[in-house]
Structure 1
């Protein structure tokens, strides 16, 4: 790993692509990240429980779901000391470069994969070129392999700025001020796909006193060469698990003696979709998974479903969540059952700050490879990076969630998802130059006239 990451972006991305791991099970991924970070040389590196309070995690799977992934990482050569530190699913890392006076800038990238079986066939580039997922039923189908590569390359560029290791880069890419001055904190966040990792990292000491936070995503239906300088209207959301307990009985001989958990669940599902939409903005509700019963001649005594609520604002999400819980509990009572309603994870809405969006847009227009800059775009989905954005904004800083476009043959979260690898270099340049421009402009005034602290 002596060759600079910037010179092997595709190789790094493809390695991560071959080894996707789901939320709170990113053991091998974290170990590989740590190897690269140590080779870069940083001022502080925190892994797992040193990066956040494990008690703040959301959507953590049971131990029996975690252990096989830990053993798989061990079999593939992950460092035993690191694996011990990550025991219990405490994955992810935070790396810090501290170069004295200057702004404190955070960059958040996510690291987890999805439970998607990756496609095969010559039409799918990862399969044709030998970097398809090696783990059945699991895939980097959302570009987090690219995000990790960006995080490492940006960390390297800032740690190494002014050291002359990348003379092949243009002068605009290296920046005119020589060595970086300030503090860069890169959050390699686990469990984004279940909205489980943003909260603990946002509560960590590493977010304290950040002047700026950048979060980033690849693609999202924006083509190669396009940059969205900041997203707006990410939906606040919550994931919930519902269990309904009833009483079993013989469905033919004595159905009246049972309390039908399946019937209660059906009532809850039907009524959930009848929750009134709110006049203040858009709301969403969905039941994505439901199961109940054991046999056709047995009244089901237990039912389970997984659902979500979303809203255009955090307040609207809370409205839907409260209505959904009322629907579930009422349906259970109607059928003489009992219900538990557990919020597994959630995330707030947080919009990009206009002043920081302007900086990103100005930088992106001058970066080689940019064909179009979109100042802002509605996100339309949910993201737990909003926890970090909200925390920075609450303490007077600025945050922006940007999108670096890529030509992807199919949508995110599909078996044939892939990226145009030209977008990897493009994303590194946009992020590095934005960080250097923030260093030059600091403090960037807020639109309300206040200045970012620091």
Structure 2
């Protein structure tokens, strides 16, 4: 490895300390653009909002797209790290919220910048690198906005789209799953309408809090009673907002629901069940009008190309430093698949282990590792903290190896 790992680790800790919400990644984008420019890449900023694209062309050969996402989450960090985030930001609703890189996108950015440095330094390949630093993966608009801003038209259709997501698996393990690898997701908002009143006279009101509480419980039957046990569906009610004081019955309650699935027909059945249950609870409560059920955004499943997975897995194995496994499909979601889908080219998106291997001592299979995972803070947790330098070193090596498996080998330039 030709890069300065001390400098890369310092960059990672800086990015971790200064996370930014989706569509607000101005500082991160500026750092990315500055570093890519210094490495000799042709850099374009402001793609799809705050996105950055760096291109390095070197002779005749295939075009390889490597992608990393940049945004943080509205989570208050509780890792206790010396470089922990204390950042806050203004959310879309105008409220001030804490921000943390709770999903590991700081790892993704740092690894891709490290790979950019190493690939720029190596002279024995030919082709074209297109490095995509994407905004707002968490909000579901990032890939879509970059595509709408002419990502493929402006920078060309690649031969393959590659990327990785850090996970609470041991450093040195890479998870490569052909076929459906990440679930499709729908973010759904339900607005229940009641009739406000005084807390001492509930008989004169229609209480949307009770309506919402009943709906939260009823929604749990979508998975247990509405779909087959062999179908993959995860439903989570992530927010429930209602009222301003304990003695006031509000006139509405708002729920936000995360739905994950892998089969479009099962997804449609689950969405229909959510709407049916919301309307039924409103009718049972005597609500003054039907609820509003809105799908805020949807992302398709990430479906990895079988051939691309075999090629990158072989490249990983060739390094002799990775344990490559097939962890199966995960129920987390990602918008990276939209890039390969829009281009009509193969994609391979793998899991990058970022946890201390000592935590998994004695585990000899994925099933045993999953047992250990129950005690390891995972993505989106306020305690999530990949082990920095070892994870970065592995992530850079994985990206470089995967990219070089597609780039043409050439005689080193003088």
Q: Which TM-score tier does this pair reach, normalised by the shorter chain?
A: 0.7 to 0.9
- 1:290 offset after TM fit, Å? 0.8
- 1:419 offset after TM fit, Å? 2.2
**Is this contact kept in 1: 2:33–2:43, CA < 8 A?**
no
- 1:257 offset after TM fit, Å? 4.3
3-state secondary structure, aligned to 1:8: helix
Unaligned 5+ segments in structure 1 are 53-89, 163-177, 442-454
- 1:251 offset after TM fit, Å? 4.7
**Are 2:410 and 1:437 equivalent residues in the alignment?**
no
**Are 2:333 and 1:385 equivalent residues in the alignment?**
no
**Is this contact kept in 2: 1:111–1:144, CA < 8 A?**
yes
- 1:142 offset after TM fit, Å? 2.4
Distance (whole Å) between structure 2 residues aligned to residue 440 and residue 91 of structure 1: 31
1:437/1:369 Cα in 2 relative to 1: closer, same or farther (>3 Å)?
same
**1:297-349 alpha-carbon deviations (Å, 9 max, x no partner):** 44321211111212122332232122212322343344223422232222111
Select the residue among 228, 245, 267 that pairs with 2:175: 228
1:251/1:144 Cα in 2 relative to 1: closer, same or farther (>3 Å)?
closer
Q: How does 1:171-210 map to 2 (within 5 A)?
A: 178=124, 180-207=125-152, 209-210=157-158
Select the residue among 349, 363, 372 that pairs with 1:401: 349
Select the residue among 73, 85, 89 that pairs with 1:114: 73
Select the residue among 302, 309, 319 that pairs with 1:350: 302
Select the residue among 276, 279, 282 that pairs with 2:232: 282
| Greater strand proportion | 2
Provide the residue aligned with 1:10 in structure 2: 9
**Are 2:381 and 1:414 equivalent residues in the alignment?**
yes
Provide the residue aligned with 1:428 in structure 2: 396
Distance (whole Å) between structure 1 residues aligned to residue 264 and residue 336 of structure 2: 14
3-state secondary structure, aligned to 1:317: helix
Provide the residue aligned with 1:444 in structure 2: none
Distance (whole Å) between structure 1 residues aligned to residue 355 and residue 200 of structure 2: 58
Unaligned 5+ segments in structure 2 are 89-97, 357-375, 410-414
- 1:17 offset after TM fit, Å? 1.1
- 1:368 offset after TM fit, Å? 5.2
Select the residue among 206, 210, 214 that pairs with 1:259: 206
Distance (whole Å) between structure 2 residues aligned to residue 366 and residue 133 of structure 1: 37
1:241/1:259 Cα in 2 relative to 1: closer, same or farther (>3 Å)?
same
1:143/1:101 Cα in 2 relative to 1: closer, same or farther (>3 Å)?
same
**1:16-74 alpha-carbon deviations (Å, 9 max, x no partner):** 11111122222221222222122222224132xxx23xxxxxxxxxxxxxxxxxxxxxx
TM-score, length of structure 1 as denominator length: 0.74
3-state secondary structure, aligned to 1:438: coil
Distance (whole Å) between structure 1 residues aligned to residue 130 and residue 347 of structure 2: 14
3-state secondary structure, aligned to 1:411: coil
Structure 1 runs, 4 residues or longer, greater than 4 Å off = 3-7
Distance (whole Å) between structure 2 residues aligned to residue 298 and residue 406 of structure 1: 47
**Are 2:319 and 1:367 equivalent residues in the alignment?**
yes
- 1:296 offset after TM fit, Å? 4.3
TM-score, length of structure 2 as denominator length: 0.81
Distance (whole Å) between structure 2 residues aligned to residue 333 and residue 91 of structure 1: 45
**1:181-214 alpha-carbon deviations (Å, 9 max, x no partner):** 2222222112222333232234453245221011
3-state secondary structure, aligned to 2:175: strand
1:412/1:308 Cα in 2 relative to 1: closer, same or farther (>3 Å)?
closer
**Is this contact kept in 2: 1:236–1:310, CA < 8 A?**
yes
Distance (whole Å) between structure 2 residues aligned to residue 5 and residue 26 of structure 1: 25
Distance (whole Å) between structure 1 residues aligned to residue 6 and residue 406 of structure 2: 25
